[in-house]
Structure 1
Amino acid sequence: MEITVMQAILIGIACWLGSCENAQPLGIGFSDALSRPIVGGTIVGFILGDVATGITIGAAVQAMYLGQVLIGGVATADMAFVSYPSIALAMLAGADATVAVTLAATVGVLGAAVFTGYEILCSVFYSLGDKFIANNDIKKMKLTYMVLPPLTSFVIRFGITFSIVMLGSAYAADLLAAIPEIVLHIASVLGGILPAVGISILVTYTLKDFKFIIYFLIGIVCITFLELNMVATAVVGMCLAVMYYMFIGGQNESTTQQNDDDVEEDELL
């Protein structure tokens, strides 16, 4: 797959817009949505002219990061780099979704290191800003607080993404063809395992009672063995949830009625 300079520029801008530190009028929620691999894959696929492949790869990568959380402002991977340069590089190389997942994990970790470097630079800018405030120099203070951080973010994210996409497009397919089959097989196996890790992390965070794992298993049976699509599986899950709460509600009403009867008997005695 060939890529033009304009396509690489658009992917680089999208990566910058999806960065968590990017302050923009549409708010942090917009940046967070753009940083999701399923959204990034769709955008990259639209830019490269193959939306179906972009969505397929984005969905596979998204499964790996379903349980992604920020602890103390530190993440294991930079989602903007996961969603844009890695997916674009995988599409340019003609890699399948499983290999793309492994590639995204590698680029994401490198992106996290780049983001740490960005934070170090920002600490220098803010230190200079404090000195300008002490000197009552408002113009330079605004420059260090409001201009230099987003400009640095743009240079880093756009520059790295543009370089990876433009330079990688010339060698990605040849590099993928030169990799031994055993290495690609290992990458495919790892790519198949990593989404399961993401789903397991999500289940661990969301399940309040371990017995509710049965609903997750029912979903697997519906999709794997009954070959239902996602909509049909969601409808089955919704029906089971309603039936569960109807059953729990009936039990609660019975318990409440029993307690009321006991209170009345005590009063009569």
Structure 2
Amino acid sequence: MGISQIILIALFVYLGSIGSIVGNTIGWYTLGRPLVASFVVGIILGDVQTAMLVGIPLQIMYMGNVTPGGAVAWDLAYATYIGVAGALVFGKGLGTTEIIGLAVVFAGIGGLVGQIMWNVSYVLNLPLNRIANKYAEAGEAKKMYIPNLVLGQLIGFACRFIPAVIVLTSMTAASGQADFATLIPGWITTALGVFGGMMASLGMGIILSFLLKEKYQWAIFLSGFILVTYFNLSTMAVAVVAILVSIMYYVAISNLATKRGE
């Protein structure tokens, strides 16, 4: 990665956080989502296809990521931007499942750094309350933006941008030593491939647990699976079949209800 690419990715690590200058809707709930973050990193590093292949399982894996109260188990933006960047930098010459495994490993590193910096930012923000109280007691409402906006954003930017630059720079320096694919033993490459496949399966299991609430819905899911696997239909074709079946089902139920009403 070049210095400009490192700066851009680190900037998005900040923009994708809670309370960034662009707001939570654009930041945390958009730029901070793994699929969007993967797309951004792919554009910056010039490999959107591989980035999206990595981003899809990461998005599914972190769908259940929540921050109850003040507890932060994992920093999503840090994990995704660092994870995808690491996978693209170190994954040259590796297969898709191995690259996904690398992304999970680097996401763990990024998430851990982000978790630490969350706690640091909490500590650094505590004195801002006293500054805000002084302005409030003095009736200087026009100066309230200083602790709430200026100083708060500076702390948030410093706690995210600077560590991200350090991590990304270290990754770039390590990748420049030699071809990463030739440095690692075969059994590690195999383990990464298996782990990456497991993560995709785990993610699919998680999303199915959200979607399938009734037992009969498993029959619908398996019907689509059979059409794709054994009849070699594309997902678009299966979607069209599902729409047609839904329309026929709705018409049949409506006619039955009408007859019962008569």
TM-score by length of 1: 0.79
C-alpha change, 1:212 and 1:75, in structure 2 (3 Å) is: farther
**1:214 corresponds to 2:219:** yes
1:243-258 → structure 2 map (5 Å cutoff):
243-255=248-260, 257=261
Paired-residue identity, %: 28
Cα distance change on mapping 1:105 and 1:224 into 2, 3 Å: farther
User: The residue matched to 1:29 in structure 2 has which SS?
Assistant: coil
Task: Give 1:103's aligned residue.
Answer: 105
Gaps of 5+ in 2: none
- Give a deviation string over 1:213-247, Cα, whole Å, max 9, x none: 22222333334443433333333333343344344
- Report the equivalent of 1:152: 155
Deviations 1:99-143 (A, max 9, x none): 234225413541234324323433442344234322434465322
The aligned counterpart of 1:59 is 56
Quick check: 1:28 aligned with 2:24? Answer: yes
Alignment-derived partner of residue 265 in structure 1 = none
Q: Is the 8 A contact 1:65 1:195 kept in 2?
A: no
2:2 is the alignment partner of 1:4: yes
Pair member with larger Rg: 1
Closer, same or farther in 2 for the Cα pair 1:102/1:83, shift >3 Å? Answer: closer
Q: Which residue, 81, 86, 91 being the options, matches 1:89?
A: 86
DSSP-derived class of the 2:102 partner = helix
Tell me by how many angstroms 1:93 deviates.
Answer: 0.5
Contact 1:90 1:100 in 2 (8 A): yes
Scaled by the length of structure 2, what TM-score is found? 0.80
Aligned CA distance change for structure 1 residues 226 and 126 (closer, same or farther; 3 Å) = farther
Q: Is the aligned partner of 1:48 residue 2:42?
A: no
Q: Indicate conservation of the 8 Å contact 2:78/2:107, yes or no.
A: no
SS at match of 1:168: helix
Q: 2:62 & 2:190 partners in 1: Cα distance? A: 22
Closer, same or farther in 2 for the Cα pair 1:170/1:251, shift >3 Å?
A: farther
Distance apart, 1:91 and its partner CA:
0.5
Tell whether 2:109 aligns with 1:79.
no
User: Contact between 2:17 and 2:77, CA under 8 Å: does it hold in 1?
Assistant: yes
Higher mean C-alpha deviation, range 51-60 or range 168-177 = 168-177
1:196-211 maps to which residues of 2 (within 5 A)?
A: 196-211=201-216
3-state DSSP of counterpart to 1:21: coil
Which one-letter code corresponds to 1:8 in the other structure? I
Cα separation, 2, equivalents of 1:162 and 1:80: 14
The size of the alignment, in residue pairs, is 253
String of CA shifts for 1:66-123, please: whole Å, max 9, x gaps.
3444544655432211331211111011254322342254135412343243234334
Instruction: Give the alignment partner of residue 238 of structure 1, picking from 237, 243, 247.
Output: 243
Aligned residue type for 1:107:
I
Name the CA distance, whole Å, in 2 between partners of 1:254 and 1:112.
Answer: 61
Secondary structure of the residue aligned to 2:18 is coil
On the 8 A contact 1:22/1:153 being kept in 2, the answer is yes
- Residues 123/237 of structure 1: CA separation in 2 closer, same or farther (3 Å cut): farther
Which residue pairs with 1:132 in the alignment? 135
Q: CA RMSD in A?
A: 2.9
Partner SS, residue 239 of structure 2 = helix
Cα distance change of structure 1 residues 160 and 59 upon mapping to structure 2, 3 Å threshold: same
Structure 2 counterpart of 1:100, one-letter code:
L
Contact between 2:33 and 2:59, CA under 8 Å: does it hold in 1?
A: yes
State the alpha-carbon separation in 2 of the partners of residues 86 and 161 from structure 1.
Answer: 11
Q: Distance in 2 between matches of 1:76 and 1:220?
A: 34
Aligned AA for 2:19?
E
